[in-house]
Chain A
Amino acid sequence: MADLDQESDESLMGRVQRGDHQAFSGLVTRHTNMFYAAAYRMCGHEQEAEDIVQDAFLKLWNKPEVWNENKGAKFTTWFYRVVTNQALDYMRRRKKTAGSEALDLMPDENLRADEVLAEKQEGYEVERAIQALSDRQKVALNLCFYEGLSNKDAAKVMGVGVKALESLLMRAKQGLKDELLRSGVLTEEKGRRYG
């Protein structure tokens, strides 16, 4: 395993293409947490995030030939694309079967307002506002803000031009600000209601 740790993702991917299960294990161990977090931020659902990451890795194992190192992309950038597409599929499917997710994000109505911790409430509002964005705005925001990808890489991941990505990002931020202002988490004069 020590050797695997020192090997680059791209080199491990080359071995996966030759059917090396140990190299696949190396990639999975190295990146599961990071891509789980990315998937969770996109879909806002723990079980779904697990399924998204698992499906993406199994796709990679089953069809490793889709990775083409000669195209010059980093493995992680390329795999973000796989995970993002997978997440968009899940979100689309979920929309078809009505908003089950909305229920997950609802605060417990049996709790009295003063029992709900302010911080928890704020977290809920932020999550709700993000999940209310369109799927593509959500993905753009996650890739650029949380995953730290450059606009160029994020545009590549989403399969759009840089200008289109910037526009998605701008609309996502504006939508989010409006929503947070409306819910009172963000206030114009003070910045935040809590804290």
Chain B
Amino acid sequence: MDKEFENILNSRNVPEAPGNLAYRIIEAAKQKPKTQAAGSVSGPFWDMFAEMFILPKPAVALALALLVGLTLGFGSMNPAEVQLQDLSSLLQIEDEFYTGDFS
């Protein structure tokens, strides 16, 4: 049956390409200005520079950034402590201001 199966697959008919298809493609390319040739004002250096910021897999990058952010967030001090510390540093400045001791 395998041979017959292959024969059937081989008998598949494919229409010939239209005679002018190649010509049409060549002409269409003539009409279409090349993006490169159209003179990218930026030039190769700026192209390379811009490429540095292109993320190959934005979804993966976003997920990783979220993960790192969450890990760092949970790892840091608790918010109440942070707030206390911030206030105390403010008070210290105020204190120095009133005593006029800037030395």
Instruction: Tell yes or no: A21 within 8 A of B by CB.
Output: yes
List A residues 125-180 near B (Cβ within 8 Å): 126-127, 130, 145-146, 173, 176-177, 180
Contacts of A28 in B (CB 8 A): 22, 25-26, 29
Interchain nearest-CB distance for A125 vs B (Å): 9
Chain B interface: which size bin?
Answer: 20 to 34
Q: Report chain A residues within 8 Å CB of B88.
A: none
Q: Interface size on A (CB < 8 Å)?
A: 40
Contact A53–B25 (Cβ < 8 Å): yes
Q: How many A-B residue pairs have CB under 8 A?
A: 90
Task: Give the contacting residue for A61; candidates B1, B9, B32; CB below 8 A.
Answer: B32
Contacts of A3 in B (CB 8 A): none
Q: How far is the CB of A188 from chain B (nearest CB, A)?
A: 6
Q: Assuming the A-B contacts A24-B29, A28-B25, are A127 and B12 also in contact, with contact meaning beta carbons closer than 8 angstroms in the complex? A: yes
What distance in Å separates the Cβ of A15 from its nearest Cβ neighbour in chain B? 13
> Which of A25-62 touch B at CB < 8 Å?
25, 28-29, 32-33, 36-37, 40-41, 46, 49-50, 53-54, 57-58, 61-62
B21 at the interface (CB under 8 A from A): yes
Asked whether B35 is an interface residue with its Cβ less than 8 Å from the other chain, the reply is yes
Complex contact A21–B29 (CB within 8 A): yes
Q: Is the CB of A177 within 8 A of B5?
A: yes
Interface presence of A107 (CB below 8 A):
no
Cβ contact of B17, chosen from A33, A61, A185, A186, cutoff 8 A: A33
A54 adjacent to B8 (CB under 8 Å)? no
B43 within 8 Å of A (CB atoms): no
Q: Check: B36 CB closer than 8 A to any chain A CB.
A: yes
> Are A57 and B25 in contact, with the CB atoms below 8 A?
yes
A190–B81 CA distance with the chains assembled, in angstroms: 84
Closest to A40 in B: B14
Cβ of B99 within 8 Å of any chain A Cβ, yes or no, is no
What is the CA–CA distance of A173 and B2 in the complex, to the nearest angstrom? 10
Contacts of B22 in A (CB 8 A): 28-29, 32
A-contact bits for B35-69, CB 8 A (1 contact / 0 none): 11100000000000000000000000000000000
Separation in Å of the A190 CB from the closest CB of chain B?
Answer: 8
Q: Are A50 and B29 in contact (CB under 8 A)?
A: no
Q: Which A-B residue pairs are the 10 nearest by beta carbons?
A: A191-B4, A36-B17, A32-B22, A61-B29, A33-B17, A25-B26, A57-B25, A37-B14, A28-B25, A28-B22
Q: Could you list which residues of chain B lie within 8 angstroms of chain A, going by C-beta atoms?
A: 1, 3-5, 7-9, 11-18, 21-22, 24-26, 28-30, 32, 34-37
Known contacts A61-B34, A62-B35, A173-B5; 10 additional CB pairs below 8 A are A24-B26, A32-B21, A36-B17, A40-B15, A53-B17, A58-B25, A62-B32, A123-B11, A176-B9, A186-B8
